[in-house]
Amino acid sequence: MRLYGGEPSRWRGAVYSDQTRSLGITMPANLTPAYHAAEQRYRAARTLEERIAALQEMLAVIPKHKGTEHLRGDLRARLARLLDELEQPPPGKRGAASPWSIRKEGAGRAVLVGPPNSGKSALLARLTGAGARVAAYPFTTEVPQPGILRVGGARIQLIDTPPLVAGHSEPALYGLLRTADVLVPVLDLGADPAAQLGELRAAVGTRHLALLAPGDTASSDGVSAKRAVIAATKADLPGAADALAELTAAAGSLPVVSVSAESGAGLDALSEAIFQALGVIRVFTKAPGREPDRDDPVVLPAGSTVLDFAAALHRGWEKRLKYALLWGASGRFAGQRVAKEHVLADGDAVELHG
């Protein structure tokens, strides 16, 4: 991008698209102060996560018209490269890698986010067995801590994060939130969780992030909407029921699951809600004459077919597949013969025949 001088004052400060210039068209980008502020943050960024957060903001606030087509394409390409680098840190750099650069694994990534001392680390420990530091004082967690949550055989990456405090959180935290498939706001039923939810929404909103109920469609242009499931912690405290009612009203369509890391109440329901929010299904393999293998499902996007299952199971299966036998909710009866195009449901067991 070049800045051209000598133009009328109403165009001064505009960035012009190489594409429109090559066509002999002079078209101003009319970039806003919000865009320039995000661009300054990008230029000043020191870490990968800070650059990602700034690029996301630039894309969110950039005007959408012909004059910015080339610039938007360039920003999207840069963002894609940085996200790939963040999500898949190159091998051989383990010692120098940022603690915020966590390799994705499992069926999806769910990130615990919330204010200080809301119970995020205790939840991670109970749900995954990961060795998170748990203490009664705030700011115990200084860097992200990953673990693996198992739900019906599916493996979900669950990450604990440092506290989200408006104006005082690590910038890299927002970069990590953008890589999440599901956000799990962790709110304390003993500390006005409805107000905590409002503060969290405002904090992520400053970085053009929003919480989206599973099944809803994002409507705000330029905002990265993340599916969310709220974990209302410390359900065994006095007055928790009243606080839960207030939180549920404030949450609107967002699902709220009441849990206690101390007693274990609600943990199974929270695990299932996180899985459902991912928008995936578990499909189990079955060998002829044997029971289905229920320990290691193939996890596929909802709406996947028998052919998708075969391709995910083993390279080459999709080419020699003739039909399949099916046991599960998507069939009319056990052992039904189905075609390649048959759409599968969560929990189906499939026996492939070539």
Residue 86 host element (H or E):
helix 69-87
> What are the pLDDT digits (tens) for 198-241?
999 999 887 778 999 988 877 655 578 999 999 999 999 999 99
**Amino acid at position 182, single letter:** V
Kindly state whether residue 165 falls inside one of the protein's structural domains: yes
For the stretch 287-338, pLDDT in tens is 999 999 888 999 999 999 999 999 998 888 878 898 999 999 999 999 999 9
Count of the separate structural domains present in the chain: 3
- DSSP H or E run through 326: strand 323-327
Contact (CB, 8 A) for 147 and 128: yes
Q: Give the pLDDT of residue 133.
A: 56
Domain housing 74: 9-87
In a domain? residue 296: yes
The pLDDT of residue 143 is: 84
* 136 and 227 co-located in one domain: yes
Buried/exposed 241-279: b ≥16 CB within 10 Å, e otherwise? eebbeebbebbeebbbbbbbbeeeebbeebbebbbbbbe
> Does one domain contain both 260 and 118?
yes
**H/E element holding 155?**
strand 154-160
- Do 72 and 127 reside in the same domain of the chain? no
Do 294 and 272 belong together in one domain? Answer: no
3-state secondary structure 210-268: EEECCCCCCCCCCCEEEEECEEEECCCCCCHHHHHHHHHHHHCCCCEEECCCCCCCCHH
* Residue 274 included in any domain: yes
Here the CATH number for the domain that contains residue 183 is 3.40.50.300
Q: Flag whether the pTM goes above 0.85.
A: no
Check which CATH number belongs to the domain holding 316 and give it.
Answer: 3.10.20.30
Q: Is residue 92 part of a domain?
A: no
**Backbone phi, then psi, for 42, in 5-degree steps?**
-65, -45
Spatial separation of the C-alpha atoms in residues 57 and 41, rounded to whole Å: 10
Residue 92 to residue 112: CA distance in whole angstroms: 28
Q: Are 330 and 347 in contact (CB under 8 A)?
A: no
Q: Give yes or no: residues 260 and 132 share one domain.
A: yes
Where does residue 106 fall: left (phi above 0), alpha (psi -120 to 50 degrees), or beta otherwise?
left
Q: Which of 25, 56, 87 is at the close of a domain? A: 87
Residues 134, 59 within the same domain: no
Q: What pLDDT was estimated at residue 84?
A: 67
Same domain, 239 and 349: no
Note the pLDDT of residue 8.
Answer: 33
Q: Are residues 69 and 179 in the same domain?
A: no
Beta bridge partners of 6: none
Render pLDDT for 240-249 as a digit per residue (tens, 0 to 9). 999 999 999 9
Task: Say if residue 258 is in the same domain as residue 133.
Answer: yes
Q: Do 286 and 273 have their domain in common?
A: no
List of the chain residues with pLDDT < 50? 1-27, 89-90, 92, 135, 137
Evaluate whether residue 77 is within a structural domain.
yes
CB neighbours of 260 closer than 8 A, spacing ≥ 6?
Answer: 233, 234, 235, 236, 266
Instruction: Indicate if 148 and 203 belong to the same structural domain.
Output: yes
Dist. CA 256–CA 246, nearest whole Å: 11
Q: Amino acid identity of 335? A: G
Are both 204 and 347 inside the same structural domain?
no
